[in-house]
């Protein structure tokens, strides 16, 4: 079989790329290792930058997002037991972020793809990209006891951090990495969010905490935890007690608790692979870079990669112009490193590190105090949070 672009991975990057290419009349096939339900079961991101919202509208999947997404004008920082609002909207000349779950966004993209009759091959095993250094790339995969071949013009590696795309160029790629000495324990619960108008980021002597939401009836909360903790160590009661202890007294009092419907522990990592193009193979999203979730940048960076990559493919197929594909990697990496810097700095500022008692602790306190009392410092935070201009 032949198509113009083979997309490996049906996460948000792959699905969004497929939709944008389809809108421009470019054929594509998505190969996904898991089932669709498995992909939808992963509870991940929740905060979208305006650039991401715009791109989803361009892809024709912005309907439910417009009616169900919750627009946020500010964030709140809790430290030393006190809550400090940061007026993101006011400080950025009117920019906002939107709370809308990655699960819902993925569902919208999957439905649009199915409605357009576009091919997605789920449970494709042993996917292998090849031939991308020459003119005739091919991707092989196993399904229903047979090996299949997909010939194409380009391969898009949208297969996340553990995917095969980056692994297939591992001898030729430079990797930059920082692993953090803690994880995030996340809980999803059908209770009204404690702070429906602003995401709350908390720094306390017991560690980091985060109050987010998926809707006005569904909350998403996180607490920093040791890397070797197991989900089984955390009863719902223990989680709620711990979250309360890390917030200011008013929020702690107001929080409504209930049974968790999902609970998981995620490690935190900063990672960038360079370059993001190898001949006719292009990496996008978590396949090429990871940020710790503190800055809410992962999904948004994936969306910008896809914006640049879809634009580059469209230019190539419609105008035979290779400028976009030639500049793809450099263009993405410029934005990625800025988001890496922001995510690392907010992570460093908000978490308890095992080895930074005393001096490091005092520096955190000084920086937080400066951040909320200096308009310049608050503006820098707000500007990065809503997403730097393209
Ligand atoms: P994904 O979502 O990992 O999808 C990759 C897909 O590829 C498939 N795959 C393969 N398919 C075929 N063959 C193979 N060999 C394959 N190997 C893998 C996988 O099954 C999967 O379906 O990557 P993608 O599409 O690049 O999307 C990236 C985002 O998922 C990620 O950046 C965000 O979730 C990060 N993130 C956040 N980002 C934000 O912008 N805002 C947030 O608020 C935010 N919160 C978060 C987050 C990530 C978190 N965790 C758990 C890592 C909160 C958390 C807790
Ligand atoms: C989430 O809603 O899951 C979320 C929100 C903000 C973050 C990270 C995760 O910084």
Predicted local confidence at residue 163, as pLDDT: 98
Residue ranges of the chain with per-residue pLDDT less than 50: none
Q: Is the CB of 9 under 6 A from ligand 1?
A: yes
Note whether 207 and 352 are within 8 A (CB).
yes
Q: How many CA atoms lie within 13 A of 158 on its CB side?
A: 31
Q: Is the CB of 45 under 6 A from ligand 1?
A: yes
- As annotated, the residues of the chain forming the CATH 3.50.50.60 domain(s) are 5-70+98-177+269-345
Q: Which CATH superfamily is domain 180-268+352-386 in?
A: D-Amino Acid Oxidase, subunit A, domain 2 (3.30.9.10)
Predicted local confidence at residue 356, as pLDDT: 73
The rounded Å distance from CA 10 to ligand 1 centre is 10
Q: What are phi and psi of 313, to 5 degrees?
A: -65, -40
- As annotated, the residues of the chain forming the CATH 3.30.9.10 domain(s) are 180-268+352-386
Strand partners, 283: 157
The rounded Å distance from CA 326 to ligand 1 centre is 26
Positive or negative torsion for Cα 46, 55, 345, 330: positive
Q: Is the CB of 299 under 6 A from ligand 1?
A: yes
Q: Which of the ligands is closest to the CA of residue 295? A: 2
Predicted local confidence at residue 360, as pLDDT: 87
Q: Is the CB of 183 under 6 A from ligand 1?
A: no
Closest CA to 212 of 89, 101, 355, 352: 101
| Residue nearest atom 9 of ligand 1, based on CA coordinates | 159
Mutation test residue for ligand 2: of 47, 72, 301, the one with most atoms within 8 Å of CB: 47
The rounded Å distance from CA 90 to ligand 2 centre is 21
Predicted local confidence at residue 45, as pLDDT: 87
Q: What is the DSSP letter of 195?
A: S
| Residue nearest atom 22 of ligand 1, based on CA coordinates | 11
pLDDT in tens, 239-290: 999 999 999 999 999 999 999 999 999 999 999 999 999 999 999 999 999 9
Fold category of 5-70+98-177+269-345 in CATH: FAD/NAD(P)-binding domain (3.50.50)
pLDDT in tens, 346-370: 999 999 998 777 888 899 999 999 9
Note whether 379 and 92 are within 8 A (CB).
yes
| H/E run at residue 277 | strand 277-278
| Residue nearest atom 47 of ligand 1, based on CA coordinates | 45
Q: Are strands 28-31 and 289-290 parallel, antiparallel or unpaired?
A: unpaired
């Amino acid at each position: 079989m032949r198509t113009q672009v083979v997309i490996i991975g049906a996460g948000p990057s792959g699905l969004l790329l497929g939709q944008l290419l389809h809108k421009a009349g470019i054929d594509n096939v998505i190969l996904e290792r898991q089932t669709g339900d498995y992909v939808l079961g992963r509870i991940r991101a929740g905060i979208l930058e305006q650039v991401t919202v715009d791109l989803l509208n361009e892809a024709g999947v912005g309907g439910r997002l417009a009616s169900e997404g919750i627009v946020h004008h500010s964030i709140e920082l809790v430290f030393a037991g006190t809550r400090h609002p940061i007026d993101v909207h006011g400080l950025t000349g009117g920019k906002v972020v939107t709370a809308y779950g990655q699960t819902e966004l993925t569902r919208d993209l999957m439905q649009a793809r199915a409605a357009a009759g576009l091919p997605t091959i789920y449970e494709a095993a042993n996917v292998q990209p090849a031939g991308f250094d020459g003119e005739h790339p091919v991707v092989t995969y196993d399904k229903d006891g047979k090996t299949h071949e997909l010939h194409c013009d380009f391969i898009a590696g949208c297969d996340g951090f553990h995917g095969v795309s980056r692994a297939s160029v591992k001898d030729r790629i430079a990797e930059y990495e920082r692993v953090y000495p803690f994880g995030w324990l996340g809980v999803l619960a059908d209770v009204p969010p404690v702070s429906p108008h602003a995401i709350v980021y908390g720094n306390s002597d017991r560690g980091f905490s985060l109050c987010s939401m998926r809707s006005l009836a569904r909350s998403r909360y996180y607490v920093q935890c040791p890397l070797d903790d197991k989900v089984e160590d955390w009863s719902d009661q223990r989680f709620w007690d711990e979250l309360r202890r890390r917030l200011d007294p008013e929020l702690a009092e107001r929080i409504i608790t209930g049974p968790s419907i999902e609970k998981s522990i995620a490690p935190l990592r900063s990672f960038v692979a360079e370059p993001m193009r190898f001949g006719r193979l292009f990496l996008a999203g978590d396949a090429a870079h990871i940020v710790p979730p503190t800055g809410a940048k992962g999904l948004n960076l994936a969306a910008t990669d896809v914006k640049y990559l879809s634009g580059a493919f469209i230019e190539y197929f419609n105008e035979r112009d290779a400028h976009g594909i030639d500049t793809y990697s450099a263009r993405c990496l410029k934005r990625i490193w800025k988001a890496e810097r922001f995510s690392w700095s907010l992570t460093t500022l908000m978490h308890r590190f095992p080895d930074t008692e005393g001096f490091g602790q005092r520096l955190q306190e000084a920086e937080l105090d400066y951040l909320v009392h200096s308009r310049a410092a608050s503006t820098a935070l707000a500007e990065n949070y809503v997403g730097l201009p393209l």
